Amino acid sequence: MIRFAQAGKTYRSLVRRREITALAGLDLEIARGEVVGIAGPNGAGKSTLISLLLGFLAPSEGSVTLEGLAPRRYVERHGVGYLTELVNLPGQWRVQDALHRLAILAGVPAAARRGRVADTMARLGIEEHATKKIKQLSKGNLQRVGLGQALLGEFDLVVLDEPTHGLDPVWTARFRDIVVELRRPDRAILIASHNLDELEMLADRVAILDHGRLQRVVGHATEASDASVSWRLVLEGDDDIGAAMPGAVPIAGRPGSWRVLAPRAAMSRQLAALLQSGAILVECVPEQGRLASAFREAVRQ
Amino acid sequence: MTRDTSPFRYLLVQALDLARAQLLLFVVVSAGLAGVIWKIFGDDVGRAFDAADMVGALLAGTLLIAILMAAGGVAGTDIKQGYYRALFSKPMAPWWFYLQRWLLGGLVVLTIPVWLGLAFAVAFGKGTGLSAEVFGVVALSYLLIGGAVLLFSTLTSRDWLVAFLLYFLQARLHDAEQIFTALSRDVPAAMALALKVLPPFDLVSARAPLPSGGDLAHVLLYGAGMVAAALLLLRFRPLGSGGRA
């Protein structure tokens, strides 16, 4: 559905002719039915990627296509459910009015419009703010209005830029449910976020950007290299775990706790041997998510 | 879900926005102007001037500001504030959206002579002074000044200010040209060139007859050219250009 082919964007200042490469040589394809995350440190090129995708910027090199169309052409024909990183709507608009206007633009038929707006406000818990002006909203409520307007149109492409920015933990969890509900075989969802746990939970694949370049794509098939994942093991027993598991290091101040950095298969074998010899497993958790490990590796490169 | 794909689906919202702000203001100001003049001069004004003169004189004094208000910030504010991201991620082309808004602004400006005429008819009982020529002047003024505002709106949120400065510059250059002509002296080449290049604002005035022939063609082509240039920029220049994403 989406194809970035050697896409890049370089900003040039008019006066000093200074160049800043925000994105370079991006090759990425996203199919319908996928949820793809975009991760990267600040300034990595995430927002530029999204602006290229929506046609708000033109690539300086390469191409971006959606269903074979230039981005603007696609957006003007089909629309995209888009939540901006900083929700920008005219401050004097009232919440319900804003959603009504944007529902009209989204192409929601007149007969369904009132109901769709009401459902969206209920879904995002903003009914009580319906008559408030946009400028009176807290950051979290504004974010929910932004998310609401992105969901009005039932679009085949949904792009969410830092969707949980400013949301409290309850609504962060609710947002995850919403993304799960949004999944459809004919819909692609793109989520740009700093929150790696969130991406790990929601995305099928995560593209990691750094310095404007795609460093790697982490997915179900290409996960972080096993060796990079650190596990915390807590065992009860007299066995000398350090001897049985090369590379295991005791965690200071936590008797019976060991930190292990080992390939998963090798660690499993050694752990099985220890358990067979009478040790009791209390805890075995990755100290970092796979994505966090992959991110660390990619950004370090 | 079946989608409402009518290109006019947002027109009513834009019309209501204009009615609530600019149109209402124009009605109130027109009534206020007639009221103030009646209060100060009483029936003397009605005896000394006919309604057409009064409407023409008041239009000459208010039309520029009215057009700047009706056309100002059409696209520039949305672009500068970033509102375009929510608006144009929806299936709507920016050039079409802003063309509708600009045309509605023109319709609102076209009602100004009506409000002024009605206010004077009520205050002085001498008719509305409306004629096709009055509406022609208003329409051509909107095409030129409003067209300039729309063009600058694609580049800056201070579109109305740039258009005003351009109008002011052209008016002063035109005054200077008339002085040179009256003194039978050659107009400096740079000034003549500037007057050729700048929009011909001087050709349309509420105090002068409607331009005709070559002047009318100049006004129409220049105005339409600015509107077309604005629409081309909105169509082909990405809205996020000119700044970091």
Tens digit of pLDDT for each residue in B158-203?
A: 999 999 999 999 999 999 999 999 999 999 999 999 999 999 999 9
Query: Residue A210: CB partners within 8 Å, gap ≥ 6?
Result: A40, A41, A44, A298, A299, A301
Give the minimum alpha-carbon distance from B229 to chain A in angstroms, rounded to a whole number: 19
Which of A24-33, B53-62, B73-82, B203-212 holds the top average pLDDT?
Answer: A24-33
Residue in B81, B83, B85 nearest the CB of A56: B85
Which residue of A42, A88, A93 is the best one to mutate when testing the B interface, meaning the one whose CB has the most B CBs within 10 A?
A88
High-pLDDT (> 90) share of chain A, %: 56
A280-286 and A249-250: which strand pairing? unpaired
Q: Does the pLDDT of residue A188 top 50, yes or no?
A: yes
Residue A221 has pLDDT above 50, yes or no: no
Residue B67 predicted with pLDDT over 90? yes
pLDDT attached to residue A96:
97
pLDDT over 80 at B8, yes or no: yes
Binning pLDDT at 50, 70 and 90, where does residue A281 land? Answer: confident
d(CA B195, CA B173): 7
Q: How confident is the model at residue B245, as a pLDDT?
A: 41
**Exposed / middle / buried, residue A71 (Cβ in 10 Å: 0-12, 13-18, 19+):** buried
In chain B, residues with a C-beta closer than 8 Å to the C-beta of A107 are 3-5, 9, 90-91
Task: Please report, in angstroms and rounded to a whole number, the separation of the first and last CA atoms in chain A.
Answer: 30
Secondary structure (DSSP) of A190-209 = EEE-S-HHHHHHH-SEEEEE
User: Is the Cβ of A66 closer than 8 Å to some Cβ of chain B?
Assistant: no
Which residue of chain A comes nearest to B93, CA vs CA? A76
Angle between helices B24-41 and B112-124 (to 10 degrees): 30
Give the chain B residue nearest A53 (alpha carbons): B89
Distance of CA B3 to the CA centre of its chain: 35
Per-residue pLDDT at A274: 83
Contact residues, chain A, for B2 at CB < 8 Å: 109
**pTM assigned to the model:** 0.86
**Dist. CA A220–CA B1, nearest whole Å:** 32
Given a cut of 60, whether residue B234 has pLDDT beyond it is yes
Amino acid occupying residue A132? K
Mean pLDDT score, B222-234: 97
Size of interface A-B (CB pairs under 8 A): 99
What value does the mean pLDDT take over residues A2-30? 90
Report whether pLDDT(A204) > 70. yes
> What does the longest C-alpha to C-alpha distance in chain A come to?
73
Residue A227 pLDDT grade (very low, low, confident, very high; cuts 50, 70, 90): low
Buried residues in A150-182 as b, exposed as e (16+ CB within 10 A): bbbbbbbbbbbbbbbbbbeeebbebbeeebeeb
Chain B neighbours among A 137-196 (CB < 8 Å)?
A: 146, 149-150, 153-154, 159
Distance CA A231, CA A289 (A): 10
Retrieve residue B212's tokens.
């005709």
Candidate from A22-36, A141-155, A286-300, B63-77 with smallest mean pLDDT: A286-300
Min Cα–Cα distance to chain B from A87, Å: 8
Helix (H, G, I), strand (E, B) or coil at A39: strand
pLDDT at A79 over 50: yes
What confidence category does residue A14 fall into, taking pLDDT thresholds of 50, 70 and 90? Answer: confident
Question: What is d(CA A85, CA A88) in angstroms, rounded to the nearest whole number?
Answer: 9
Average pLDDT of the residues in A23-37:
95
- The stretch A120-130 carries a mean pLDDT of 94
Least confidently predicted of A4-8, A169-173, A234-238: A234-238
Q: What is the pLDDT of residue A12?
A: 83
In this prediction the ipTM stands at 0.89
* Closest to A82 in 3D by CA, of B77, B210, B91, B41: B91
- From B96, which residue of chain A is nearest by alpha-carbon distance? A76
Query: What confidence tier does A222 reach under pLDDT thresholds 50, 70, 90?
Result: very low
Which pLDDT band holds residue B244 (cuts at 50, 70, 90)?
A: very low
